[in-house]
């Protein structure tokens, strides 16, 4: 068996997971933002030592990083020019012309990544049909090249109107620029995101150009340093769509790396959904600052074509930069262990979205933080053991937690500390429950049909109360929950999603043109996958973005063909109606349908882990000790069993209220629920209503 | 289990999620462009006394606050003793709903153990309601489409088939309009089922206790905020373009302890065209402005709206009488906050922005083949566009951003795929923001040409062409709007006009007013404005006294 290694650079920790024939070894080391490689090497050495293997035995490294996202959020990208069609210089500044916070008179909009002075225009215009309405003349090209040269830009983004259907002008500019300035980085919207809608496409190409010099330098350095320390393996990169690509592709299209960490988390959860035969899973990942929720149907995380990055306004929808690149779709809310609790003007407890993060962190960390946070509240209500947090590495001080909660909330509301702490935990659970519910409603799903898969430091603490609120009856806490993303890297397929804006009304569907375009897309996707794995067994999936004529937004439809014949067009129509009915509960007769965007994904087959049979409750787990936990349902402190996860064997069970402890986190089992250890180390938590 | 204040807080939070869920469903299922793109809808929960206790944050202010009043009308007209489980009520009466016939409001009574405990209500703008269609040209409301008086859409679960037939027979898009009616019904049902689950969880038999808690907390917070203002009477007036004649808008705000009253006495009389505003819609936008300035953090409900009393004299353009045409009441409605702000600035220093473009520049285009009997299809297109907002005391105005409306614009590529037009330009209108120590937001320039084989008509309903947005505290006005062909031929800012193939329509949207004296603007900001082309060097010299 091959030795594979997953490395996930997060904002706080770098997680490493090593997969050998002997099993999985994982570790966490602190991230060093200035030299991200050093944490990688430290982690690699640590896991190799634990596993007892030499560095040169590693066959494959799969890497994911938040560096791209951070570079955008912190505005540390390259000096970038944006070249666009005359008349459309301000698309990225005007955005959707709306306000994302209705009552705030002092609202500020996010500042464009490329300032107006660096947005350059040329006279050219392509029509929606792809016809050229205004030719790009050579004199204009020359003038533009001079402007770019004079501006001393490191990177250039090119985005013209309708370039997704006819990229000729974008290519002409790119050619002239690279001839004049061979070292300059150039990104084309027709390559990075060839989809209809100028705002997300322009944003995508700009983000790509903006981060490219930095990411290219980092990846090249990383690859060579990996060789230098004696590792003789290929390096691959995790992308936002939940698959892996070659380093070369990643350097060309760094915009695809944006959400690689969260995407891998969803892949990790999807892997366990497969193992446990869970058809509908809701992955729930809660860390220090945010909670992320993703739907997984039949083992596949829900994907999307556009998403927002770098939200400037407390995670508020609309306050970020919308990009169009394939992504695992999730909702992210400002709810984490570090989320700060306060009292608003109406005397209500508010939790988040501001977070104390890990520096200085919650008050109880004894690290100089003095805000009352969710972790402080968890400590007071008894969900956390002050001596065993993070494997005992961070001793928690309940007195500091009480003092912060007392000062910031209890005194203002005239409430006892315990009630306040409980109020904080309830409010954060309520926030997450509401976000999860709205997310499933938006997709026409019934949340109660889902099984939650909880991971990340905070999720196991909150999962059972959260599920109690939203009516979910089953929760799975897989092993290695603290380093889920790194493990997800090891489970991800090689994959590439090629997208294209190509408008078709179903009434006038042009079979030949569509098939030719699909051939191109398939060829494009295949070439990138081949770059990673050579020839391998692959699976193909076509997604068609459709709507009724006159609607503003499309839904993805999955026909089971890759090319169209007459009959398939009729099937596509039926397929759309089925999907539409599933999401919206009805269809509309007599309305035509239209297609805006297309996507073809090619992915290597993932070795499906064998399904394991469910282990039923057999014997009561060994109770390590008893403690007291304030129970949310009954609103009182209850005697609670404490069990070490490591002591549990297959079939061991414990009835809530209980706390199951491990180094990375603790799992709280509420009254109404019971936890059963499964044969693969996963904890299955079931509502008592479900008969075993 | 006895309910604590924490339980009430959690339930309050839950209710807001419940109504948000209602609204989300509507946005995704709606057919009319303005619901989808502009959030032209609202959804909320009311107690048995018809007091609104939770409302989705999604939605435009016009609906948000108008619907709050409408449930009271339903209760009065239906009669308490005629409210049965399984009922659903409907209206689009502009004077009892949300201001024009295109908005359908539906109300579903909520029952718990056979007791009536409250209502869910929602409103959405439907694609078509018959009549002349969405435009200002009618001279009476009867021409504007089908009016459905407050009536039972369903009684004890049985749908009124006659009503459905009447609707289908009177609109151009029966499937979509009726489809939207059913999704309004379904969205109330969804809210109801979530509410019932919550009541089971907290073992509630009614929502009166919760309702009192929410209303009292919100009312008190709003009263407290008003108490911080100086008592007194503060007046302001503003002239805007109107339709056939300029409209004078006049307001007096009286602040007395914890209460505030705004009175529009002195405002011009009604127009002969559909720009008239029913009073309910005036109240909606006035309350929105008051809330933004005074108590933005308090959730919108009966309690937070209660301390604000807004009135306009019957028969004025802001309290139009039946049967005045009211179809495009949004144009003047959007300008109401500027009038309110001018008066409020006297009571609330360093908070109020300068005037902005405010009224949306919606362009409705009817593209027609140049040769009538060729096979090219006709197309209807609607584009939402916004000018600049007024500068704020400590920050510049927002360029090309909707305020007070919550509208979003559409992708030009998407629009060009649907209709035979080419948009040559949609970018910021350089120099259009009013000068000030804080600069007004820039308007935008849009150039539209019919594609080969087509001409088009467009329906102009643009304000601030004659009356630009004024600055505040010494700030200069923003630039006025312009309506013309690209060759310089001036067009009217009101009414249906023709653009022949080969010509380009050019719209220059108004900028927002400046705030404070321009000479006091930070030099760095002036330099950045010149560099980015937000202002010209000439303007920097003339308006800001900046020599570089």
Mutate to test the interface with A, among B23, B26, B28, B177 (most CBs of A within 10 A): B28
Q: Give the SS3 label for residue B65.
A: helix
Select the residue from A86, A91, A99 to test the B interface by mutation, using most B Cβ atoms within 10 A: A99
CB atoms within 10 A of CB B277: 34
Q: What is the mean pLDDT of residues B246-250?
A: 97
In 10 A of CB A519, how many CB atoms?
13
What pLDDT, in 10s, does the model give residues A318-335? 889 999 999 999 998 889
Residue pLDDT, tens place only, A185-216:
999 999 999 999 999 999 999 999 999 999 99
pLDDT at A221: 93
Per-window interface: A 28-87 vs B, CB < 8 A: 86-87
Average the pLDDT over A478-506 and give the result: 86
Taken in order A264, A269, A274, A280, is the CA torsion positive or negative?
A: negative
Q: How confident is the model at residue B1 (pLDDT cuts 50, 70, 90)?
A: very low
What are the residue ranges spanned by the domains of chain A? 1-58, 75-215, 339-427, 495-604, 619-687
Mean pLDDT of A120-144: 96
Chain B residues with beta carbon closer than 8 angstroms to that of A409: none
CATH top-level class of A1-58: alpha beta
User: Which residues of chain B does A127 touch, with a Cβ-Cβ cutoff of 8 Å?
Assistant: 416, 422, 451
Q: What is the mean pLDDT of chain B?
A: 93
> What is the model's pLDDT at position A689?
85
User: Where along chain B do its domains lie?
Assistant: 5-211, 353-548
Q: pLDDT-derived band of residue A1, with 50, 70 and 90 as boundaries?
A: low
Mind listing the pLDDT tens digit for each residue in A302-321? 988 888 988 887 778 888 99
Contacts of A133 in chain B (CB under 8 A): 422
For A75-215, CATH gives 3.40.1360
Contact status, residue B106 vs residue B119, Cβ threshold 8 Å: no
pLDDT of amino acid A691 = 64
Model confidence pLDDT, tens digit, residues B337-360: 999 999 999 999 899 999 999 999
CB B98 within 8 A of CB B281: yes
Split at pLDDT 50, 70, 90, the class of A95 is very high
CA distance A211 to A206: 9
Distance from C-alpha of B120 to C-alpha of B325, rounded to nearest angstrom: 29
Q: Do A88 and B1 touch (CB under 8 A)?
A: no
Contacts of B385 (CB under 8 A, 6+ apart): A97, B360, B361, B362, B363, B400, B409, B426, B444, B446, B507, B509
Residue B403 contacts A, CB cutoff 8 Å: yes
Distance CA B213, CA B301 (A): 12
Across the interface, of B20, B413, B532, the residue whose CB is closest to A196 is B413
ipTM of predicted complex: 0.94
Assign B285 to helix, strand or coil: helix
In tens, the pLDDT along A415-455 reads 999 999 999 999 999 999 999 998 888 887 889 999 999 99
- Say yes or no: B425 contacts chain A, CB-CB below 8 A: yes
Q: Which of the residue ranges A120-134, A164-178, B358-372, B480-494 would you say has the lowest mean pLDDT?
A: B358-372
More confident residue, A604 or A683: A683
Residue B221 forms contact with A (CB below 8 Å): yes
Instruction: Please say whether the beta carbons of B456 and B450 come within 8 A.
Output: yes
Question: For residue A37, what pLDDT band results from cuts at 50, 70 and 90?
Answer: confident
Residues A66-94 have a mean pLDDT of 94
Per-residue pLDDT of A585-602, as tens digits, reads 777 777 789 998 999 999
The reply to whether A107 touches chain B by the CB within 8 Å rule is: yes
A692 pLDDT higher than 60: no
pLDDT tens, residue by residue, B2-59: 567 889 999 999 999 899 888 877 776 776 666 766 677 889 999 999 999 999 877 6
Q: Please report, for residues A540, A556, A573, B450, the alpha-carbon distance to residue A559 in angstroms, rounded to integers and kept in the order given.
A: 11, 10, 9, 36
| Confidence band for A609, pLDDT divided at 50, 70 and 90 | low
The SS3 assignment for A61 reads strand
Residue A665 predicted with pLDDT over 50: yes
pLDDT for B37 equals: 61
Tens of pLDDT along A166-180? 999 999 999 999 999
pLDDT in tens, A567-587: 999 999 999 999 888 877 777
CB nearest B401 (choices: A91, A99, A634)? A99
For chain A, positions 623-682, list CB contacts with chain B under 8 A: 634-635
pLDDT at residue B430 is higher than 60:
yes
pLDDT tens digits along B156-198: 999 999 999 999 999 988 888 888 898 888 889 888 988 999 9
The answer to whether residue A34 scores a pLDDT higher than 80 is no
Could you read off the pLDDT of B120-139 as tens digits, one per residue? 999 988 888 999 888 888 99
B298 vs A88, A346, A441: nearest CB: A346
pLDDT number for residue B36: 64
Who among A115, A346, A588 is closest to B221 (CB)?
Answer: A346
pLDDT at A77: 94
Mean pLDDT over residues B514-528, rounded? Answer: 96
Average pLDDT, chain A: 91
pLDDT digits (tens, 9 = 90+) for B251-260: 999 999 999 9
Q: Average pLDDT, stretch A668-687?
A: 94
**pLDDT single digits (tens) B60-105:** 777 777 888 899 999 999 999 999 999 999 999 999 999 999 999 9
Backbone angles phi, psi at A176, to 5 degrees: -60, -40
Say yes or no: A414 contacts chain B, CB-CB below 8 A: no
What is the average per-residue pLDDT within B529-543? 96
Q: Which two tokens stand for residue A11?
A: 């904002």
């Amino acid at each position: 068996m091959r030795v594979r290694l997953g490395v996930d650079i997060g904002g706080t920790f770098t997680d490493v997971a090593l997969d050998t024939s002997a099993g999985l070894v994982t570790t966490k080391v602190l991230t060093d933002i200035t030299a991200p490689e050093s944490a990688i090497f430290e982690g690699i050495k640590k896991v190799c030592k634990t596993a007892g293997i030499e560095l040169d035995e590693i066959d494959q490294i799969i890497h994911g990083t938040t560096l791209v996202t951070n570079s955008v959020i912190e505005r540390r990208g390259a000096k970038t020019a944006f070249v666009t069609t005359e008349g459309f210089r301000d698309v990225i500044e005007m955005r959707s012309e709306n306000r994302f916070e209705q009552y705030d008179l002092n609202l500020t909009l996010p500042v464009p990544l490329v300032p107006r002075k660096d947005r350059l225009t040329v006279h050219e215009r392509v029509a929606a049909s792809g016809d050229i309405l205004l030719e790009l003349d050579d004199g204009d090209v020359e003038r533009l090249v001079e402007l770019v040269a004079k501006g001393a830009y490191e990177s250039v983004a090119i985005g013209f109107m309708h370039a997704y259907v006819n990229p000729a002008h974008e290519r002409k500019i790119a050619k002239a620029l690279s001839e004049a300035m061979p070292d300059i980085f150039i990104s084309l919207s027709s390559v990075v995101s060839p989809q209809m809608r100028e705002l997300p496409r322009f944003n995508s190409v700009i983000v790509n150009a903006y981060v490219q010099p930095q990411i290219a330098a980092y990846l090249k350095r990383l690859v060579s340093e990996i060789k230098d320390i004696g590792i003789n393996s290929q390096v691959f990169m995790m992308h936002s769509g939940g698959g892996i690509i070659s380093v070369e592709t990643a350097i060309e299209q760094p915009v695809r790396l944006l959400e690689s960490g969260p995407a891998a988390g969803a892949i990790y959860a999807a892997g366990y959904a497969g193992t446990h035969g869970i058809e509908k899973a809701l992955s729930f990942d809660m860390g220090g600052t945010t909670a992320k929720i993703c739907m997984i149907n039949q083992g596949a995380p829900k994907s999307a074509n556009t998403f927002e990055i770098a939200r400037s306004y407390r995670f508020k929808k609309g306050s970020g930069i919308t990009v169009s690149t394939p992504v695992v779709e999730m909702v992210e809310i400002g709810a984490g262990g570090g989320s700060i609790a306060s009292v608003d003007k109406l005397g209500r407890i508010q939790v988040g979205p501001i977070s104390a993060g890990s520096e200085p962190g919650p008050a109880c960390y004894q690290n100089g933080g003095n805000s009352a946070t969710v972790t402080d509240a968890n400590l007071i209500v008894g969900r956390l053991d002050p001596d065993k947090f993070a494997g005992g590495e961070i001793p928690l001080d309940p007195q500091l937690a009480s003092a912060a909660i007392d000062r910031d909330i209890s005194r203002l509301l005239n409430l006892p500390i315990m009630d306040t702490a409980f109020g904080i935990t309830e409010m954060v659970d309520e926030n997450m429950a509401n976000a999860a519910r709205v997310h499933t409603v938006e997709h026409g799903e019934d949340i109660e049909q889902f099984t939650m898969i909880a991971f990340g430091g905070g999720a196991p603490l909150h999962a059972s109360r959260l599920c109690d609120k939203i009516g979910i009856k089953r929760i799975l806490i897989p092993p290695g929950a603290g380093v889920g993303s790194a493990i997800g890297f090891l489970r991800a397929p090689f994959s590439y999603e090629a997208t294209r804006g190509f408008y078709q009304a179903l009434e006038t569907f042009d079979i030949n043109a569509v098939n030719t375009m699909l051939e191109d897309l398939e060829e494009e996707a295949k070439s990138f996958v081949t770059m990673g794995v050579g020839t391998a067994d692959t699976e193909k999936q076509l997604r068609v973005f459709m709507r009724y004529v006159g609607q503003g937004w499309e839904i993805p439809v999955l026909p089971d063909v890759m090319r169209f014949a007459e009959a398939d067009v009729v099937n596509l129509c039926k397929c759309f109606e089925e999907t539409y009915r599933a999401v919206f509960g009805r269809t509309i007769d007599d309305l035509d349908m239209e297609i805006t965007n297309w996507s073809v994904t090619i992915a290597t087959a993932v070795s499906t882990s064998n399904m394991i049979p469910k282990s039923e409750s057999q014997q009561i787990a060994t109770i390590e000790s008893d403690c007291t936990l304030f129970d949310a349902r009954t609103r009182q402190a209850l005697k609670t069993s404490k069990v070490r996860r490591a002591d549990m064997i297959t079939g061991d069970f414990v009835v809530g209220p209980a706390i199951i402890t491990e180094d990375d986190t603790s799992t709280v089992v509420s009254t109404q629920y019971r936890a059963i250890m499964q044969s693969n180390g996963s904890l299955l938590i079931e509502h008592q209503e479900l008969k075993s | 289990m006895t309910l604590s204040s924490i339980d009430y807080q959690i339930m309050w939070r839950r209710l807001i999620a419940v109504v948000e869920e209602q609204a989300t469903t509507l946005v995704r299922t709606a057919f009319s462009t303005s619901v989808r793109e502009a959030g032209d809808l609202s959804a909320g929960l009311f107690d048995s006394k018809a007091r609104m206790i939770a409302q989705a944050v999604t939605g435009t202010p016009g609906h948000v606050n108008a619907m709050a009043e409408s449930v009271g009308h339903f209760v009065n007209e239906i009669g308490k003793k005629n409210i049965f489980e399984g009922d659903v009520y409907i209206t689009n009466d502009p004077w009892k709903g949300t201001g024009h016939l295109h908005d359908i409001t539906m109300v579903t009574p909520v029952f718990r153990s056979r007791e009536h405990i409250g209502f869910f209500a929602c409103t959405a703008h439907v694609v078509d309601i018959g009549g002349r269609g969405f435009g200002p040209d009618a001279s009476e409301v009867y021409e504007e489409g089908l009016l459905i008086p407050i009536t039972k859409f369903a009684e004890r679960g049985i749908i009124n088939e006659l009503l459905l037939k009447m609707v289908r027979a009177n609109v151009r898009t029966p499937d979509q309009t009726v489809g939207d009616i059913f999704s309004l019904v379904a969205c109330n049902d969804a809210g109801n089922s979530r509410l019932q689950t919550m009541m089971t969880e907290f073992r509630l038999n009614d929502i009166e206790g919760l309702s009192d808690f929410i209303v009292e907390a919100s009312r008190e917070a709003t009263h407290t905020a008003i108490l911080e203002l100086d008592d007194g009477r503060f007046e302001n007036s503003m002239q805007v373009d109107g339709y056939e004649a300029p409209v004078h808008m006049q307001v007096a705000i009286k602040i007395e302890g914890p209460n505030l009253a705004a009175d529009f006495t002195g405002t011009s009389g009604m127009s002969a065209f559909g720009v008239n505003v029913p009073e309910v819609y005036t109240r909606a936008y006035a309350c929105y402005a008051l809330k933004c300035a005074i108590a933005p953090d308090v959730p919108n409900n009966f309690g937070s709206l209660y301390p604000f009393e807004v009135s306009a004299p019957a028969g004025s353009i802001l309290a139009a009488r039946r049967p005045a045409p009211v179809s495009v009441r949004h144009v003047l409605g959007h300008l109401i906050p500027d009038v309110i702000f001018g008066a409020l600035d006297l009571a609330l220093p360093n908070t109020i922005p300068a005037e902005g473009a405010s009224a949306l520049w919606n362009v409705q285009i009817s593209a027609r083949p140049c040769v009538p009997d060729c096979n090219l299809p006709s197309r209807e297109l609607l584009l939402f566009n916004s000018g600049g907002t007024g500068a704020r005391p400590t920050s510049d105005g927002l360029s090309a951003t909707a305020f007070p409306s919550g509208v979003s614009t559409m992708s030009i590529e998407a629009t060009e795929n649907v209709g035979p037009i080419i948009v040559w330009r949609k970018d910021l209108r350089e120099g259009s923001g009013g000068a000030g120590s804080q600069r007004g937001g820039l308007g935008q320039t849009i150039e539209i040409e019919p594609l080969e084989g087509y001409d088009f008509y467009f329906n102009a309903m643009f304000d601030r062409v004659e009356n630009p947005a004024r600055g505040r505290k010494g700030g200069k006005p923003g630039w006025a709007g312009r309506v013309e062909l690209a060759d310089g031929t001036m067009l009217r800012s009101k009414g249906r006009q023709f653009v022949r193939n080969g010509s380009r329509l050019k719209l220059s949207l108004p900028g927002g007013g400046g705030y404070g004296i321009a000479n006091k603007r930070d030099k760095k900001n002036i330099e950045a404005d010149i560099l980015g082309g937000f202002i010209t060097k000439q303007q920097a010299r003339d308006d800001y006294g900046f020599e570089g």
